[in-house]
Amino acid sequence: MFLAQLDGSVAKPSRIEIWKTLWPGLAICGIASIAAAWLSEHYGAPIILMGLLIGLALNFVTSEKRTHPGLDFASKACLRWGIVVLGTQVTLAQIVALGPVPFLALLMVMAAAMGAALLVARMTGASTAIGILAGGATAICGASAALALFGVLGAKRISQAQFALTLVVISMASALAMSFYPPLAGLMHLDDRQAGFLIGASIHDVAQAIGGGYAYSDIAGSYATIVKLSRVALLAPIVAVVSLIYTDEDAGQRHWIRKLAMPWFITLFLAVVVLNSLVTIPAFVVHLNLTLSKSLLLLAVTATAMRSRLDLVMQMGWKAAMPVVAATLASLVVALAFSMMIL
């Protein structure tokens, strides 16, 4: 990337040269993401799951080294900016509107998901980092949270194969939850507010949680949106805590101020949430930002799947999926209990 000059100095490449380097990987990732979006729109499949499956099917393209810079850029830069833009969907007023009792219940649901994932990870011989990834992704906002947590935990602690499998299981669980949780709420004779809490507190993906709520009723959809976005707002503190625990522990103890520093994209995410709470953003801009965020995260997921070896994913076995399954079931049971008891 840097060119040595005659005087021994190093010249930075021009923007054109950088884009020429990134173009092969970005082009392939972009085409695969467009295909995933088309399949999702026409067949109703979760867009993130489609991106994962297409990316895994195209992982042979990484045998061409020219694709590596673009795929690395998409999996990292698109992820981080997608998380930042996601902050435009959340306001502090939405969290306050939830009320103290439902908010505490939501924290208990998230804690149950994290605890179940950590427990099952330990029982199946997986690392604590894998339990944190599975539990955090289930507790917060699915693939988006998984990508953010993986950016902090790193490939040294979680393999690309384990990460790809976790994303696949999370996406499939979220899709199944969207289909079955609204009818379950009806069978349990939950009112609109109870159903909204159950769906918003236990379905992983933002779009599917909101869609599941509105599939029950408009009131349930509105309440599920508030509950779900409150979970999204907790992305920043949870990733910050994980970052504090796992900050380059192999390199020795750092200065405490550096260890307290959050990843820059989480800091920006929190800043955007605060700004969005203070300034009224037009509805069409919020909608455009949601589309932009989903597009960037889709590119990141697709690129990550392309960089994963499918043979290793297939060799992981059922135990590797159990932390996500346990976290999903725990969040459902605890959310259902709270929705029936206190709401």
pTM summary value? 0.74
pLDDT tens readout for residues 69-122 = 999 898 888 878 888 888 887 788 877 877 888 899 999 999 999 999 999 999
* Residue 258 clears pLDDT 60, i.e. is over it: no
Exposure class string for 62-80: b at 16+ Cβ within 10 A, else e: beeeebbbbbebbbbbbbb
For the chain, where are the E strands, in sequence order?
3-4, 10-11
- Read off the pLDDT of residues 2-43 as tens digits, 9 standing for 90 and up: 444 445 445 566 777 778 888 889 999 999 999 999 998 888
**pLDDT tens, residue by residue, 296-306:** 888 988 887 88
- pLDDT for 110 equals 93
Angle between helix axes 235-246 and 264-278 (nearest 10 degrees) is: 160
Q: Half-sphere exposure (CA, 13 Å, Cβ side) for 244?
A: 10
Residue 56 has a pLDDT of: 82
The tens digit of pLDDT for each residue in 222-237 reads 888 888 888 888 888 8
Helix, strand, or coil here: 11? strand
For 305, half-sphere exposure in the C-beta direction (CA atoms, 13 angstrom radius) is 27
Name residues whose C-beta falls within 8 Å of residue 283's C-beta, 6 or more positions apart in sequence.
Answer: none
